Structure 1
Amino acid sequence: MQELIGAVGQLSPKERKALAVLLRQKGINLFSVAPIFKRHAEEPLLLSYAQERQWFLWQLDPQSSAYNIPMALRLQGELDVEALERSFSALVERHETLRTRFDDSGEQPLQVIEPAWPIQLELEQLSDGSDQAIRRLVEAEARRLFDLREGPLLRVKLVRLDEHDHVLVLTQHHSVSDGWSLQILVRELVALYQGLREGRPAQLPPLPVQYADYASWQRQWMESGERERQLGYWQQLLGGEQPLLELPLDHARPAEQRFAGARLAIELAPERARRLKALAQREGVTLFMLLLASFQALLHRLSGQDDIRVGVPVANRGRVEVEHLIGFFVNTQVMKADIEPGQSFKAFLAQVRQRVLQAQDHQDLPYEQLVEALRPQRTLSHNPLFQVMFNHQSEGQRSGAEQQLGALALRTLEWDNDTAQFDLALNTFESEAGLAASMVYATDLFERATIERFAAAWQCLLDAILADPEQPLAGLSLLDDAAREQIVGQWNATAVDYPLERSIQQLIEAQVDRTPEAEALVFGDTRLSYAQLDARANQLARHLI
């Protein structure tokens, strides 16, 4: 068998494609059963489907930093700067994506892999070592633009606070990396640094292929019939009109997204997290499925819509050859929920479970190809197939763990990113300690107070689910006792005695005389004072007469 696979690997792309056609006639997909082969020297380095979309977005707005991926590491203790630079140099040599840029001088854009070069860290002294000063520096670095044509698409800056305290700021462009890749980068950087400090080679897993090999294989695999198989499922599920999720906004949606955002941390009590995990186990679902169902139920209640579509990122590293590669692998799935009148949460959870399992069997279709096939109405004001994202991470997927490297302590710094790629995103983080969450929201659309209410409503909904998962979705409470008293009691105490001898028109005219410039009506961006309202009413009356 190995000899056969080796022989297939020696075929040219054209010969391999012809073999794939013959095998497909016998019901065998060559690219599903064979490993990812190294590319031939004469093959053009085509972009992956995900890279194509990033290239399109960058050309559309090269002044946007929305697709920068930043990370900051606090290094406290004795730091060997030379060993750190050599570690980065070894990483750049090991992973071609860290030295990749893009060229569009020909008929189609191509990846250009530059020769490895010795890394020299950008050094900066920061006299003010306060958390606020560090945060400002990291945020400014995260906003620096990349030129995808010129490269490099990796930046490394070392900020010196004092002799034994540094901050390492890493920024990559999404076209060559993703969240999983950041974890690989840090893990291998630590191994290389330790090896250099201890005078031994680092124990790193071999890389049988590089990202450009994967990009070539991905195209061949999709073109061998896999695209049609997976696309058929998604077209049946998502075809037709693409609804816009209409959450209650504080501001009118602008004609073009600016990607300005903010983050709200959500504290979840350990006891609530324990009970959620227990409920998921009883219902035969994962915690991811349970939290996704709760979020979709919340969106249904907030919007009043029954067709709820949420984007969910998946690692898309099902092939063992790419497990340790740095690159843009993450894919996005659209999880659709169909809410039925009177449906219980338990029944809805069963639907979500089924949809998640079906999506896993069709998870490789590039999101970019799904958008192209569904042909939604394109607009710069919002994302085409969904406007809200849900992202669940387990402890092993997070990069925030502290590490001790001899005399050097390393930990990931957390800060509030000021970008939002979607209207709203719920991020949940599962660990042995419990469950943490945050909401990232578009500040062009929402005020922070509104997101705080959304977060409180979600937590109340979780408690209602825990109390009785058999409840209808419409009956799940979104208010705690204090909020209910405020809305039903305090805010609803609006009874006023009006003089019976005067009509409503006369009362309004009296108010016009008292406060002509005071705000009388608000609708969207339109505001009318009492004087303007009176003038409009008189104008309408004349037309009617």
Structure 2
Amino acid sequence: MRKWSVEELPAGQQGSLRQLYGAQLDERRGYTAHRIQYVRDLTESERQVVTYGETTPVSPLRQNLYKLEGKLLPLRFNLAIRTLTEQEDVLRTNYCVAGDKMLAVVFKERRNLPVIIYRNLEQTSGKDLDEQLRRLMEADLRQGFDLRYGSLLRFAVYHTGASEYAVVVTGVQAVMDNFDVRNIFRYIHNLPLEKAPAAATATAGGAESIRSYWRQLLSDLPGLSHLPYEETGAGGQDAGQERQEQNYLTHIPSDVLSDLKELSKDNKKVLMSVLQTAWGLLLQGENDCRDVAFCLLAPGSEAGRGSQSMLPLRVRVAEDPKVQELTEQVFKQFLVSTSYAALARKDIQAVLDQQEKGFYHVLNFGDFLQDEGSYSQRQGKREGRIVTQEVWDTRELHLGVRFRYAEWEIAITFAYDCRYFQPAGIEKLAQDYILMLRQMVMDWQQPYSAFRANWSRRRSQSMAAKPVQQRTNLLDALLQLELLQSCDKGLVQAFAGTAKLLTCYEGDRLFGQDVEEQLLFVVRGKLARSMETGDGWYNTLDIVAEKAWANDSVLLPKRRNQLALEVLTDQALLLVIPRITMESVMRREPAMAQSIIMHFGRQLEKYQRLWLQS
């Protein structure tokens, strides 16, 4: 493989790298924060998983859950990552577009390694532990990567039992596929390191029998279904906007879930078919038709490197079946189609032979299809045993919908492209989907025509009766701060310029710079606070709710303990004030300093009382 120094590149590419990473000064003449060791072309395997975005490279994410046996010390784990980062070029690699060419940039060193959170979950076991891990992994997968900067791997380590650890590794697939993560565990336990297996390349998309099946199933398919609240043509590539993905999390209400489980007789795959049918019926209502198709992520293997296997599902209503009968048809179609799920999205598009009939959204029911034992049921290994692995690829998709299954809840995450959806539109889409599930439960034995009429009427009534939700604005949140209640109202303006509101979702974690450089106040929702006291492991401290100051130790100049926060509710709204802003106001305004002193006095009194009670 040909490698170049920065000086050997054309002037245009040198200029692009200089803008991204700064001037590459001679070490004897000055300091360079991001010193490039060499630049190279992408390998064949990398070309399949790293592609052009609008202005930046994009890649699928891969997430692996390992179960580890033995002794794991945070200091030893950090040393393993630092040592392997020095040895493995792939761990010091980023990707960028220089001029008109995609390049892999390998740095001489990785100065800022990813912050790793070590959390103690020994008090949780069985199904509760499995669900806790799924929730945390889901939150980690929602956090993306900028392929141009920083480490392209993230680690989370959970102490789940005596000599037992769960390690979640989330990263860019181009890196994950070329680095054997288990070498970290081998290093910890002084086992011989192994070379990562050569990355396989994609093969031709599917045998003729598979293509023939999909041609038959998708024949005479109507035009591309329009998604509810999708702003077709708004922004988009024509406007030169860069893709920006955001997430929205919601849960199926407990009363609806109870009815759905009763109808499906607690069979996960039947329940999944009900959820799939509901999505198809929602699309039919939006497009005023009786025949729609959409894609699912297929269970099992990938369709070549970097491409998720897609499984198109067609919901077609002939005559006037009952809702239950329609769901049974979808269930049977899914069972048959899984045997033919070996095509990537581009292969299915080729089968359709019409670009406008492509699929631009996908549903993921991976949690419903895991046949292997859960984390709590699996046996760990010293070099790590893979419990689950997942690829999540939203390139070129307008919307991805993930369903997370637990015994007592189903969480739904909408990952959407902001060029095609507004946050309010996604929230309405989620509400309409829940309403569709309610209507299916009520009309389970009703014919399709009656169900469709009832659904249209109920949706119209819901939209008419639903009050306009008053969103919390920044000024309202500042005025509600307990710290400012005893201060002059004009003091609020001192924070208005730099403060902001931050929306987080269940399982999201805040630690490191997030809690050390800014003050976090809970406007809505609940957070669990965990503290690390010197051994590297975070243990749960308490739970904070609305109007609480979540990280009140942030103003201490020398903090002995490290704090981490985790969102417990579906959503949480936080008010964020930069620490430097608060310190500046405290120096100018004695009333602000006095208010903070009073806060710490109340906190001291609270913990004295708790100490006596314990």
- TM-score, normalized by length of structure 2? 0.46
Going by fraction, where is strand more abundant, 1 or 2? Answer: 2
Deviates more, 1:303-312 or 1:482-491: 482-491
Task: Rate the CA distance shift 1:92–1:318 in 2: closer, same or farther, 3 A.
Answer: farther
Q: Name the structure 2 match of 1:467.
A: 442
SS at match of 2:301: coil
Tell me what 2:341 maps to. 363
Deviations 1:482-508 (A, max 9, x none): 9727627999xxxxxxxxxxxxxxxxx
Give the Cα separation in 2 of the matches to 1:124 and 1:99.
12
Displacement, 1:309? 1.8
Matched, 1:309 2:308: no
Instruction: State yes or no: 1:212 paired with 2:199.
Output: yes
Q: How big is the shift at 1:267?
A: 2.5
Partner letter of residue 231 of structure 1? R
1:122 corresponding residue in structure 2 = 112
The structure with the greater share of residues assigned to helix is 1
Deviation at 1:233, TM superposition (A): 0.6
**Could you tell me whether the CA contact under 8 Å between 1:67 and 1:173 is conserved in 2?**
yes
- Structure-2 residue corresponding to 1:63: 56
| Structure-1 residue corresponding to 2:362 | 389
Question: Which residue is equivalent to 2:223?
Answer: 243
**What letter is aligned with 2:312?**
V
Inter-CA distance 340–54: structure 2 relative to 1 (3 Å threshold): farther
SS at match of 1:441: strand
Q: Equivalent residues in 2 for 1:323-402 (5 A)?
A: 328=306, 330-340=308-318, 342-377=320-355, 385-394=358-367
Query: Are the counterparts in 2 of residues 146 and 173 from structure 1 also a CA contact under 8 Å?
Result: no
Alignment partners' CA distance in 2, 1:101 and 1:387:
28
Contact 1:315 1:329 in 2 (8 A): no
Tell me, yes or no, if structure 1 residue 227 matches structure 2 residue 226.
no
Corresponding position of 1:458? 433
Match of 2:271 among 287, 296, 307: 287
| Counterparts in 2 of 1:125 and 1:91: CA distance versus 1, 3 Å | closer
* Cα deviation digits, residues 438-477 of structure 1 (max 9, x gap): 3233333333333323222222221222234122345445
Deviation at 1:80, TM superposition (A): 3.3
Cα displacement string for residues 300-355 of structure 1 (whole angstroms, at most 9, x for unaligned residues)? 11221333221211243399xx9xxxx64631222222133533221211221122
Determine the structure 1 residue equivalent to 2:423: 448
CA contact (8 A) 1:334 1:385 kept: no
For 2:425, give the aligned amino acid.
T
Look up the equivalent residue of 1:343 and give its one-letter code.
P
Looking at structure 2, the residues matched to 424 and 241 of structure 1 have their Cα atoms a distance apart, in angstroms, of 21
Q: Distance in 2 between matches of 1:467 and 1:83?
A: 53
Q: Is 1:484 matched up with 2:423?
A: no
Query: Relative to 1, partners in 2 of residues 1:303 and 1:64: Cα closer, same or farther, differing over 3 Å?
Result: farther
Counterpart for residue 145 of structure 1: 147
The residue matched to 1:317 in structure 2 has which SS?
coil
When the two structures are aligned, how many residues end up with a matched partner? 362
Q: How far apart are 1:47 and its partner, in Å?
A: 4.9
Which of 46, 58, 80 does residue 86 from structure 1 map onto? 80
Paired residue type of 2:444: P
- Do the aligned partners of 2:322 and 2:446 also contact (CA within 8 Å) in 1? yes
Give 1:364 deviation, angstroms.
1.6
Q: Does the 8 Å contact 2:92/2:110 carry over to 1?
A: no
Q: Which amino acid aligns with 1:335?
A: L
Q: Counterpart amino acid of 2:398?
A: D
Distance, in Å, in 1 between the alignment partners of 2:47 and 2:349 is 13
Q: Provide Cα deviations, 1:63-97, integer angstroms capped at 9, x if missing partner.
A: 1447466999xxxxx96345334258679999x99
- The equivalent position to 1:253 in structure 2, one of 208, 233, 243, is 233
**Conserved? CA contact 2:53–2:243, under 8 Å:** no
- Per-residue CA shift, 1:20-68, capped at 9, x if unaligned? xxxxxxxxxxxxxxxxxxxxxxxxx9957xx76545xx24746144746
Deviation at 1:377, TM superposition (A): 2.5
In structure 1, how many angstroms separate the alpha carbons of the residues matched to 2:402 and 2:143?
Answer: 23
Q: For 1:394, what is the secondary structure of its paired residue?
A: helix
Unaligned segments of structure 1, at least 5 residues: 1-44, 73-77, 103-108, 127-137, 159-167, 379-383, 406-416, 492-545
TM-score (norm 1): 0.51
**Structure 1 contact 71–171 (Cα < 8 Å) conserved:** yes
Q: Is the 8 A contact 2:254 2:409 kept in 1?
A: yes
Identity %: 16
Unpaired segments ≥5 residues, structure 2: 1-41, 66-71, 96-101, 117-139, 157-166, 381-391, 469-614
| 2:294 counterpart SS class | strand
What RMSD over aligned residues (CA atoms) do the two structures have, in Å?
5.6
Contact 2:153–2:172, Cα closer than 8 Å, also in 1:
no
Q: Name the residue aligned to 1:424.
A: 399
Matches within 5 A, 1:91-240: 122-123=112-113, 142-146=144-148, 154-155=152-153, 172-175=171-174, 188=182, 192-193=184-185, 199=189, 201=191, 210=197, 212-213=199-200, 215=201, 218-219=203-204, 227-239=207-219
SS in structure 2 at match of 1:286:
helix
Q: Which structure has more RCO (C-alpha within 8 Å, separation ≥ 6)? A: 1
For the pair shown, the structure with the greater C-alpha radius of gyration is 1
Q: 2:245 and 2:316 mapped to 1: Cα distance?
A: 29
Cross-structure match for 1:274: 258
- Deviation, structure 1 residue 386: 1.4
- Residues 431 and 444 from structure 1, CA distance in 2 versus in 1: closer, same or farther, beyond 3 angstroms? same
Q: Compared with structure 1, are the counterparts of its residues 471 and 100 closer, same or farther at alpha carbon in structure 2 (3 Å cutoff)?
A: farther
Change (3 A) 1:98 1:376: farther
Matched, 1:297 2:264: no
Q: CA deviation at 1:293?
A: 1.1
On the 8 A contact 2:94/2:148 being kept in 1, the answer is: no
Q: Which amino acid is the alignment partner of residue 388 of structure 1?
A: H
